[in-house]
Amino acid sequence: MQREAAIREPLIFGDKSYQDITNDVVGPIEGSAPRTWKILVTLTGLVALYGVGCIMYLIGTGIGVWGLNKTVGWAWDITNFVWWVGIGHAGTLISAVLLLFRQKWRMAINRSAEAMTIFAVIMAAIFPGIHMGRLWVGYWVFPLPNQFGSLWVNFNSPLLWDVFAISTYFSVSLVFWYIGLIPDFATIRDRMVKPLPKKIYGILSFGWSGRAKNWTRFEEVSLVLAGIATPLVFSVHSIVSMDFATSVIPGWHTTIFPPYFVSGAVFSGFAMVQTLLLIMRKAMKLEAYIHTKHIEYMNIVIIVTGSIVGVAYLTELFISWYSGVEYESYAFINRFSGPYAWSYWIMMTCNVISPQLYWFKKLRTSLAFTFVLSIVVNIGMWFERYVIIVTSIHRDYDPSSWGEFHATPIDIGIFVGTIGIFGTLFLLFARFFPVLALNELKTILKSSGENYKKLHNTDNH
């Protein structure tokens, strides 16, 4: 049997048996909803409804209700899109890349991180959709046979690559998540007493029975999906960055964009996972499964990706000067000293300086500090996209067309609304779905559970 070094901190605390894991995770689903959950879901539901209202108004009236103008044609819409897609990178990174690296600590967090990914990608997909203005002809982005003289979409365009990247990423993440959920739904199905929930979980579990051959296939599918989802994670945000990098706008036309966007995405994704998990572990009493060690590992990922992002910011700045291109230099001087300098300095503070605090062990193992910093990072990453998009295009080659962007209440309403929809979906997930990967946690109980580790240690002496 596989054993782990005694010096490693156990991943599962307490004296747990297989049945305890099931009880701890499925118990909250069986009971009635706690009052805090009801209050939270009402709040996020109201915000979500407000957001849906703003979206309806936007579709009914036209995208003129946003603050966009002829100079600044992309602003909050695409900022929000890139922000949400970025957040959606942590889930698949945790479940795919960390699976390939055999990181066992991922098992406590992968289920909820993947759920977060899926909801975040849905939120992201809203923005280019409504930005088209005429949502009802949105299907024109796909290469469908048509009556317009057989006009096809342009496969040379990064915007079309993005259509393929986002839809592939969304559907593959969904399948990956659901395949992992099936055995856990079966566990719930077999525990449920009331007929209706039993029936529903029975349908959701696809008749899973846990035969030896099923498990062999399950592990193979997980491994192969992880193998192909890994390059997918990196490709998606690379392609998002190409929406900018293949243009000729100073400030966008940069070869550093793909790696810089990918690490920025992982950075913000992990921050969002931290924000949600720190609340969830307290609310659902999962302290035995998600503890300081998990948070510390995630904070280390945040230092690494945050530092890569910081280096990328400085490289961009240096290259804009070193290139000797007047327009390119001006774009960056304008960034840190122009009318949007405030957003640039918010970005620099939140994304470059704040994660460096995690070099102190005391800070990176402090849950309260992590919670605050995860929100700071999320704010910083939103401003990063705002800086890249708005400050680059508000002053272009022709000074007579320079302009500024001012957000309208609809801009704000839709953005806040997507946070509400996201929150509602996540709360529903936490209430009705197994929030930890039961079957995976059970496989590591004997090698990384506290009680079993103690047992092994006494055996050895």
Partner 1 sequence: MYDDDDVLMRAAETLVAKGLKVKEVYSPFPLHGLDPIIGVKRTRLAIAAFMYATGGTCLALLGMWYFMIHDWPMNIGGKPSFSLIENLPAFIPVTFEFSVLCGAHGMAITYFLRNGTLPGMPATNPDPRTTDHMFVMEITTDENHSNSADEIEGMLKDTPLVELSIKDYE
What letter represents residue 328's amino acid? E
Print the binding letters for residues 422-461 with partner 1: x by CB under 8 A, - otherwise: ----------------xxx-xx--x---------------
Print the binding letters for residues 333-352 with partner 1: x by CB under 8 A, - otherwise: --------------------
Q: Would you count residue 217 as binding partner 1 (CB under 8 A)?
A: yes
The alpha-carbon radius of gyration of the chain (Å, integer) is: 24
Q: Would you count residue 14 as binding partner 1 (CB under 8 A)?
A: no
DSSP 209: -
Print the binding letters for residues 120-149 with partner 1: x by CB under 8 A, - otherwise: -----------------------x-----x
Q: Which is nearer to partner 1, 224 or 363 (CB)?
A: 224
Q: In the set 6, 8, 17, 34, which binds partner 1 (CB under 8 A)? A: 17
Q: Would you count residue 209 as binding partner 1 (CB under 8 A)?
A: yes
Among the candidate windows 111-119, 133-141, 160-168, 348-356, which touches partner 1 by CB under 8 A? 160-168
Distance between CA 94 and CA 225 in Å, rounded?
Answer: 13
Q: Which is nearer to partner 1, 194 or 362 (CB)?
A: 194
Task: State phi, psi for 395 to the nearest 5 degrees.
Answer: -130, 100
What letter represents residue 28's amino acid? P
Output the furthest CA–CA distance in the chain (Å, rounded). 81
Where would I find the beta strands (DSSP E) of 151-208? Answer: none
Q: In the set 15, 30, 219, 404, which binds partner 1 (CB under 8 A)? A: 219
Distance between CA 450 and CA 16 in Å, rounded?
Answer: 8
Strand-pairing partners, residue 12, are: 449
Q: Would you count residue 156 as binding partner 1 (CB under 8 A)?
A: yes
Q: In the set 42, 154, 337, 457, which binds partner 1 (CB under 8 A)? A: 154
Q: Which is nearer to partner 1, 15 or 404 (CB)?
A: 15
Distance between CA 137 and CA 144 in Å, rounded?
Answer: 12
Determine contact, residues 305/320, Cβ cutoff 8 Å.
no
Q: Would you count residue 151 as binding partner 1 (CB under 8 A)?
A: yes
How many chain residues interact with partner 1 (CB under 8 A)?
A: 70
> What CA dihedral angle connects 333, 334, 338 and 339, to 10 degrees?
-160
CB of residue 218 to partner 1, shortest distance in Å? 6
Q: Which is nearer to partner 1, 220 or 404 (CB)?
A: 220
**174, two tokens:** 């969904």
Collapsing DSSP states into helix, strand and coil, what is residue 449? strand
Q: In the set 186, 276, 312, 381, which binds partner 1 (CB under 8 A)? A: 186
Q: Which is nearer to partner 1, 281 or 442 (CB)?
A: 442
Task: State phi, psi for 16 to the nearest 5 degrees.
Answer: -100, 140
Within 281-300, the residues that bind partner 1 by CB under 8 A are none
Task: State phi, psi for 388 to the nearest 5 degrees.
Answer: -60, -45
Distance between CA 299 and CA 371 in Å, rounded?
Answer: 11
Q: In the set 28, 88, 180, 183, which binds partner 1 (CB under 8 A)? A: 183
Print the binding letters for residues 188-207 with partner 1: x by CB under 8 A, - otherwise: -xxx----------xxxxxx
Determine contact, residues 388/341, Cβ cutoff 8 Å.
no
CB of residue 117 to partner 1, shortest distance in Å? 15
Distance between CA 273 and CA 87 in Å, rounded?
Answer: 8
Burial of 59 (0-12, 13-18, 19+ CB in 10 A): middle
Strand-pairing partners, residue 449, are: 12
Interface positions with partner 1 (CB under 8 A): 1-2, 17-19, 22, 143, 149-156, 158, 160-161, 164-165, 167-168, 171-172, 175-176, 179, 182-183, 186-187, 189-191, 202-221, 223-225, 228-229, 231-232, 235, 239, 242, 438-440, 442-443, 446
